[in-house]
């Protein structure tokens, strides 16, 4: 799976994903301090699912319709990076879970998904 890790995501999660063979570009390493719309543009251009802790991406995806690829949002506040990584790997590994073109919210014991609206243009 090709992922784009927002700089809000813990580096330990990025390292854990890479160790398990996932293709991950980390915004913090590639282009730190990139504005959120540019992060989404990068995900769209590279056909990567964005993984983030930043709930501002919901507005960009649903109100401004800037997302072409999937977005995974963590809503796990008390859990540490290892627990978040384990939870993400569960979601990625589930053959029933489609991430592309969905906004997926991951909680400690559940997840919810909503299809992304059609993008507004370039």
Domains in the chain, CATH or no CATH each: 2-115 (3.40.50)
At 103 the three-state DSSP class reads: strand
* pLDDT single digits (tens) 51-87: 999 999 999 999 999 999 999 999 998 778 999 999 9
* pTM for the whole structure: 0.92
CA 49 to CA 88: how far, in whole Å? Answer: 12
Give the side-chain half-sphere CA count within 13 A for 45. 8
CA 69 to CA 122: how far, in whole Å? Answer: 14
Q: Give CA angle at 39 (15, 115), nearest 5°.
A: 95
CA 100 to CA 43: how far, in whole Å? Answer: 11
């Amino acid at each position: 799976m090709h992922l784009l890790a927002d700089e809000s995501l813990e580096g330990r999660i990025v390292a854990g994903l890479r160790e398990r063979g996932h293709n991950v570009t980390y915004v913090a390493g590639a282009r730190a301090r990139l504005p959120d719309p540019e992060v989404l543009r990068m995900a769209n251009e590279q056909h990567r699912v964005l993984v983030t802790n930043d709930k501002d991406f919901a507005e960009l995806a649903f109100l401004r319709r800037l997302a072409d690829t999937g977005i995974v949002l963590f809503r796990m506040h008390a859990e540490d990076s290892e627990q978040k990584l384990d939870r993400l790997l569960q979601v990625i590994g589930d053959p029933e879970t489609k991430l592309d073109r969905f906004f997926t919210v991951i909680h400690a014991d559940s997840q919810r998904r909503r299809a992304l609206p059609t993008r507004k243009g370039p």
